Amino acid sequence: MPITLPPLNRRSFVKSAIAFGIGGSIPSFLFDSIAFGETVQRSPECWILASDTHVSELPDTRQQNAAFQTMVRDISQLPTQPTGMIISGDCAVLQGKIGDYKQIIEYLKPLRESGIKIHAALGNHDNRQNFLQAFPEVTPTKKNPRLKVKAVRNDDSTNNTKQVDVIETKHANWFILDSLAKTNETPGSFGKQQLTWLADELDARREKPALIIAHHNPDVLVGQGLLDTADFAKVIQPRPQVKAYIYGHTHFWGTSRMDNLHIINLPSTAWLFNDNAVLAWVVATLHEKGITLELKTIDKKDKRNNTKVEINYDG
């Protein structure tokens, strides 16, 4: 069944694609904003961070689909509206079916229509081809040659391009990376080519804090997270502008520090892996010296709802 998407704001998409030289990637265009008049209070510093939404095309897996719709409704009722939303992977339930992505598109429509731009990283339950196929607007074509600019090559056997993005904001730059290695297999990796790209892009932006977001957790022991964590560390450790690594995958909410690097584990909206976890998403407000994270639980009765964590870059 075809999904009718509202028209994209093509002009701003092309502009941002050219600016970063990586158009055609999934994150930068995904659901471009369609402003119907800015009657709400919208903050360019306010972002929604969500992860592991695991939306399904099937009506019989309604738990995560219902939770996703609850999140969308709650976002649209925030007194200060965000400028953008980043989903850090595992958008789809297990295998990244086109129908899963069409379902997500349908659910996200109210946010797009209100002017929120939505970006997605890829997780181990996403499928790169299906993701792109579900969003034909972003696949470079002869009609849109200007969209056909370089993406980051993947050095694994799948021969797909990794889908990456940089979003520049007033106080910090978001770097959205792609750690999907093989669909429906748990571990992930960035690969050498993407890490080289990351190093170059970081070097081109030394002045502002860099916030890196991807699906997989740092993992040097277990082998179920980011397999090339050591190579990733070699890129970010010598670059002091990298202030935070943000990821999902573990379906757990928590923040910690590794020396000067803030580690932010985003919760899932879909399901829990242990009793202490919480189904939730996060409002992230960027300021000059850090980020205010506010947890928003799917179940409003959860006492963790609205709790805040202050990330101070130099604290």
Our CB check for Zn ion shows the closer of 28 and 217 to be 217
Of the candidate spans 1-9, 60-68, 90-98, 296-304, the one that interacts with Zn ion by CB under 5 A turns out to be 90-98
Q: Residue count at the site for Zn ion (CB under 5 A)?
A: 2
Whole-angstrom Cα distance, residue 313 to residue 315? 6
- Contact characters 190-219, Zn ion, x per CB under 5 A: ------------------------------
CB of 166 to Zn ion, least distance (A): 25
Please say which residue, 16 or 217, places its beta carbon nearer to Zn ion: 217
**Residue for token digits 């219902």?**
66
45-59: buried (b, 16+ CB within 10 Å) or exposed (e) per residue? bbbbbbbbbbbbbee
Q: Is 100 in the site for Zn ion (CB under 5 A)?
A: no
Q: What's the token pair of residue 193?
A: 């080519």
Residue nearest to Zn ion (CB): 52
Beta carbon of residue 132, minimum distance to Zn ion (angstroms, whole number): 21
238 token code pair: 């010598």
Q: Is 52 in the site for Zn ion (CB under 5 A)?
A: yes
Q: Which stretch binds Zn ion (CB under 5 A): 50-58, 108-116, 143-151, 288-296?
A: 50-58
**HSE toward the beta carbon, residue 283, CA cutoff 13 A:** 24
Residue list 101-140, contact with Zn ion (CB under 5 A) = none
Which one of the spans 49-57, 175-183, 200-208, 226-234 is the region binding Zn ion (CB under 5 A)? 49-57
Q: Does 90 bind Zn ion (CB under 5 A)?
A: yes
Q: Which residues bind Zn ion (CB under 5 A)?
A: 52, 90
